[in-house]
């Protein structure tokens, strides 16, 4: 993650009575559980049993939607009595597909499928989200009298009016943002009309669809032949795959849905052969939320991302024909492998464009390319937003509207709590259409409006937040050691599942670690063909145990893991159902400073000592203990030390802090000079000695070697002939790990500049030898 800021979530002390209360409820030592719950504001011990155990939770009734639900069930009952044709209008993502499937199975208990009940899924690549007039016209010609939307429709005011003109009534079930006034529909069931504190407020599209079926079951209880709970596995898939907070009824439905999902891996209880085959292909058991978020969800989503038309996914999830479902599941699997490769290529192209963008003046990243495939733009936008700490809009202008005007279509993703829907809405006069929620949005606009949109949306966000605040951030929830990793910690953390928005998967910070057996390879599809999507495997070690722990890093190369030196890593703990073993999924890694420092105040002056010194060495210096402070990271400037000592200075004004506010040492210029030298030598094929480069740039042996590593990852090769360096350059050799190695080099330069600036009277080497008695 580019220049990411690492942050440990508040480590304020958890009250012992709360820890004891959690342990009483769980029946086991649950210190990590208690810490996570407290950090996340889940602090009511009376409500905690219902949070952890769905059997102890009281779900809200479908009647909470009031008259809208009454109007919806009444109109459906009327359509059943009149044998009118009803069409489900769904959406092509996982939430939309499962919503359609819930209504197909649920309403299918009241209407004859294919004769009186049908469904329509828009094509992701040609139609985009929501209702559209051409599709409505086709349904009118086919005799549809009632459309029931799911996961869409709230803001399609013009399309709703058009449907009414064709004699079609509409019931909207949706969870996206609402228009300013209620649309003229038969009924609209959208939890955003409820109070934000209501347990149904965060329902996703599939959960809203389920509530409609639940209400119909209660209205006509003698009609259904299948139990309502048979739909819960589909509800769990859609809920967890979508961007909604898993709290209140959302969490409850996900919990009971996962229990239903587990039945699909047992032939005796299996009712959905398509789901069972998908679980088999992704090597999952269906007993964990990650089986959905990393298994089922991506495969369902991949179909529309690659093919556009995802209609067969409803058949995949609802058909009882095992042979047909197996065939469809294989198609979904292949689509997912192709999606991974396409996503990787798109992100690479996006980053290349970002090199031409001045991020210091950019609040919202807006990029367009006619060659990008719209199906993966949402995924790419999400990854770029996380890496660069800015809301991201990615567009493809490969289509035209009916008037021949070029239209750019794409997706947007948010970061750092910025309300993306309101941000995009502020530019609605420039858009063709848009929809979404605070975290994600889809939009289209005339290509001619792109520059105005880019300027307008950046200006809008600048009024809300400073660009300097938009720093990518990686949060860690718990600090653990390698010895902590394994079954006990996994079982404890699992008590808080299902994880999702508002209750994310715990991020574990592992300090002073290193890596062995690092290797990467491309994954293969079900036909054995390699896919251009990388996976790196490794073992992580630290001093807490004499045994390494396995892990993997999706989408990253082995060169991105520091080959030597101690590191800090942030990871998630998981269980590999295929290999039957526990492992970590690496999120981020960085090299720790090669040495920590001990800073002391003596006679109003500061002394910096390498912490590798022994206690005897320090005792000989006769340093007052109350004037000693250990810094865990090497300071790059006096400002770092000032922050550590601010409280001490406030207590004792006799401690005069001698530091400079001039921290403008241009380390980047040194890197630029090094690159310039390498380019010159590559172009002229001249040779130069190591000492010449060191004197030119004032580099030590350590920083010289780190500079060579950074040059290597920049595409340069070198060979040494008679102690002289000769460089060559090849663009294809540029490594994805380049930024990390540049950062290592710059950090080392800062450290040495710091020491040289404030201890120039005595050579740096002499200081270390005299104070530490270390043989350098």
Q: DSSP characters for 261-326?
A: HHGGGSTTT---HHHHHHHHHTT--S-STHHIIIIIHHHHHHHHHHHS--THHHHHHH---HHHHH
- Using CA atoms, how far residue 227 sits from 114, 135, 222, 260, 317, in Å, is 21, 33, 11, 12, 17
Q: What is the pLDDT of residue 730?
A: 81
Across 147-151, 346-350, 469-473, 581-585, least confident range: 469-473
CA nearest neighbour of 82 among 105, 107, 116: 116
Q: What is the pLDDT of residue 763?
A: 43
pLDDT (average), residues 260-273: 95
* Confidence band for 593, pLDDT divided at 50, 70 and 90: low
Percent of the chain topping pLDDT 70: 84
CA–chain centroid gap for 92, Å, is: 21
For residue 112, the surrounding DSSP H or E stretch is: none
Which residues touch 14 (CB under 8 Å, ≥6 apart)? Answer: 34, 35, 38
Highest mean pLDDT of the ranges 59-73, 580-594, 760-774: 59-73
- Percentages (nearest 5) of helix, strand, coil residues in the chain: 45, 20, 35
Q: What is the pLDDT of residue 642?
A: 45
Mean pLDDT over the full length of the chain: 84
Q: What is the pLDDT of residue 467?
A: 65
Say whether pLDDT at 639 is over 90. Answer: no
Query: pTM for this one?
Result: 0.72
Please tell me which residue, 594 or 459, carries the higher pLDDT value. Answer: 459
Measured CA to CA, the distance from residue 393 to residue 362 in angstroms comes to 12
Q: What is the pLDDT of residue 533?
A: 63
Mind listing the pLDDT tens digit for each residue in 423-455?
999 999 999 888 888 888 889 999 999 999 999
Cβ atoms < 10 Å from Cβ of 635: 21
Mind listing the pLDDT tens digit for each residue in 272-303?
999 999 999 999 999 999 999 999 999 999 99
Say whether pLDDT at 5 is over 70. Answer: yes
Highest mean pLDDT of the ranges 44-58, 619-633, 688-702: 44-58
3-state secondary structure of 626: helix
pLDDT (average), residues 719-746: 82
Percent of the chain topping pLDDT 90: 59
Q: What is the pLDDT of residue 597?
A: 33
Q: What is the pLDDT of residue 166?
A: 97
CA nearest neighbour of 592 among 539, 507, 667, 514: 514
Say whether pLDDT at 731 is over 50. Answer: yes
* Confidence band for 744, pLDDT divided at 50, 70 and 90: confident
pLDDT (average), residues 27-43: 89
360: buried, middle or exposed (CB in 10 Å: 19+, 13-18, 0-12)?
exposed
Q: Is the distance from CB of 154 to CB of 436 less than 8 angstroms?
A: no
- At 753, phi and psi to the nearest 5? -60, -40
Q: What is the pLDDT of residue 742?
A: 85
3-state secondary structure of 466: coil
Q: Could you tell me the two tokens for 546?
A: 């004499």
* Confidence band for 759, pLDDT divided at 50, 70 and 90: very low
- Using CA atoms, how far residue 198 sits from 60, 393, 563, in Å, is 9, 31, 51
pLDDT (average), residues 537-552: 95
CA–chain centroid gap for 546, Å, is: 33
Q: What separation, in Å, do the N-terminal and C-terminal C-alpha atoms of the chain show?
A: 35
Say whether pLDDT at 632 is over 70. Answer: no
Tell me the three-class secondary structure of 158-183, residue by residue.
Answer: HHHHHHHHCCCEEEEECCCCCCCCCC
Q: What is the pLDDT of residue 671?
A: 86
pLDDT (average), residues 111-120: 97
Measured CA to CA, the distance from residue 355 to residue 361 in angstroms comes to 13
Q: DSSP per residue over 50-88, as a string? A: HHH-GGG--PPPGGGGTHHHHHHHHHHHHHHHHT-EEEE
CA nearest neighbour of 252 among 210, 303, 311, 305: 210
Say whether pLDDT at 595 is over 60. Answer: no
Q: Could you tell me the two tokens for 662?
A: 């001039």
Across 18-22, 94-98, 589-593, 636-640, least confident range: 636-640
Q: Is the distance from CB of 172 to CB of 185 less than 8 angstroms?
A: yes
Measured CA to CA, the distance from residue 558 to residue 520 in angstroms comes to 6
**Cα dihedral angle (712, 562, 532, 548), rounded to 10 degrees?**
150
CA nearest neighbour of 408 among 364, 442, 444: 444
Q: What is the pLDDT of residue 696?
A: 87
Say whether pLDDT at 611 is over 50. Answer: no
Which residues touch 451 (CB under 8 Å, ≥6 apart)? Answer: none
Measured CA to CA, the distance from residue 618 to residue 771 in angstroms comes to 8
Mind listing the pLDDT tens digit for each residue in 336-378?
999 988 999 999 999 999 988 888 789 999 999 999 998 899 9
């Amino acid at each position: 993650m580019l220049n990411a800021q690492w942050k440990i979530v508040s480590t304020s002390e958890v009250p012992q009575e709360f820890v004891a209360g959690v342990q009483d409820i769980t029946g086991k030592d649950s210190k990590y559980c208690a810490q996570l719950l407290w950090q996340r504001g889940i602090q009511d011990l009376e409500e905690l049993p219902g949070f952890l155990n769905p059997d102890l939770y009281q779900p809200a009734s479908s009647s909470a939607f009031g008259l809208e639900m009454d109007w919806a069930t009444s109109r459906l009952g009327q359509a059943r009595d009149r044998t009118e044709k009803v069409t489900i209008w769904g959406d092509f993502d996982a939430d939309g597909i499962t919503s359609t499937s819930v209504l197909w199975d649920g309403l299918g208990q009241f209407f004859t499928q294919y004769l009186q009940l049908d469904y329509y899924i828009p094509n992701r690549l040609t139609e985009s989200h929501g209702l559209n007039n051409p599709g409505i016209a086709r349904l009118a010609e086919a005799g549809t009298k009632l459309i029931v939307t799911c996961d869409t429709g709230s803001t399609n005011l013009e399309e709703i009016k058009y449907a009414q003109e064709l004699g079609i009534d509409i019931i909207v079930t949706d969870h996206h943002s609402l228009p300013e006034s209620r649309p003229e529909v038969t009924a609209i069931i959208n939890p955003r009309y409820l109070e934000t504190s209501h347990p149904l407020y965060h329902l996703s599209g599939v959960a809203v669809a389920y509530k409609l079926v639940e209400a119909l079951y209660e209205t006509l209880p003698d009609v259904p032949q299948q139990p309502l709970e048979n739909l819960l596995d589909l509800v769990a898939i859609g809920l967890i795959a979508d961007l909604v907070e898993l709290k209140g009824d959302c969490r409850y439905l996900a919990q009971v849905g996962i229990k239903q999902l587990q039945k699909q891996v047992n032939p005796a209880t299996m009712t959905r052969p398509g789901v069972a085959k998908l679980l088999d292909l992704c090597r999952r058991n269906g007993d964990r939320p990650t089986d959905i978020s990393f298994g089922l969800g991506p495969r369902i989503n991949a179909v529309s991302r690659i093919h556009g038309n995802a209609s067969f996914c409803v058949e995949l999830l609802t058909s009882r024909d095992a042979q047909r479902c197996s065939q469809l599941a294989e198609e979904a699997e292949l689509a997912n492998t192709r999606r991974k490769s396409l996503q990787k290529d798109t992100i690479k192209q996006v980053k290349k464009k970002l090199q031409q963008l001045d991020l210091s003046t950019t609040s919202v990243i807006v990029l367009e390319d006619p060659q990008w495939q719209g199906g993966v733009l949402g995924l790419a936008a999400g990854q770029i937003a996380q890496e660069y700490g800015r809301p991201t809009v990615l567009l493809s202008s490969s289509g035209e509207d009916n008037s021949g005007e070029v239209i750019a279509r794409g997706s947007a993703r948010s970061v750092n709590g910025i309300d993306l829907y309101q941000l995009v809405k502020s530019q609605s006069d420039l858009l063709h259409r848009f929809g979404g929620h605070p975290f994600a949005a889809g939009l289209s606009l005339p290509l001619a409006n792109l520059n105005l949109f880019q300027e307008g949306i950046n200006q809008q966000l600048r009024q809300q937040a400073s660009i300097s605040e938009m720093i990518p951030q990686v949060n860690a929830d718990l600090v653990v050691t390698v010895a902590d990793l394994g079954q006990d910690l996994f079982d404890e953390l699992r008590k808080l599942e299902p994880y999702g928005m508002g209750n994310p998967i715990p991020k574990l910070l592992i300090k002073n670690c290193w890596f062995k057996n690092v290797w990467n390879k491309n994954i293969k599809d079900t036909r054995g063909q390699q896919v251009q999507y990388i996976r790196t495997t490794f073992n992580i070690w630290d001093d807490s145990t004499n045994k390494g722990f396995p892990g993997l890093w999706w989408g990253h190369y082995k060169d991105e893991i520091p080959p030597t030196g101690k590191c800090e890593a942030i990871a998630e703990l998981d269980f590999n159902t295929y290999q039957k073993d526990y492992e970590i999924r690496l999120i981020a890694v960085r090299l720790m400073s090669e040495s920590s420092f001990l800073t002391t105040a003596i006679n109003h002056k500061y002394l910096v000592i390498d912490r590798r010194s022994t206690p005897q060495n320090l005792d000989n210096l006769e340093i007052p203990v109350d004037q000693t402070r250990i810094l865990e990271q090497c300071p790059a400037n006096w400002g770092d030390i000032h922050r550590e000592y601010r409280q001490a200075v406030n207590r004792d004004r006799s401690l005069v802090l001698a530091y400079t506010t001039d921290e403008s040492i241009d380390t980047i210029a040194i890197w630029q000079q090094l690159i310039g030298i390498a380019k010159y030598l590559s172009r002229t094929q001249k040779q130069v000695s190591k000492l010449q480069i060191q004197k030119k740039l004032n580099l030590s042996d350590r920083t010289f070697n780190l500079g060579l590593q950074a040059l290597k990852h920049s595409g340069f090769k070198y060979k040494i002939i008679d102690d002289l360096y000769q460089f060559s350059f090849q663009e294809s050799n540029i490594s994805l790990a380049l930024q990390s190695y540049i950062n290592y080099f710059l950090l080392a330069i800062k450290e040495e500049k710091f020491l040289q600036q404030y201890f120039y009277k005595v050579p740096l080497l002499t200081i270390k030898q005299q104070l530490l008695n270390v043989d350098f």
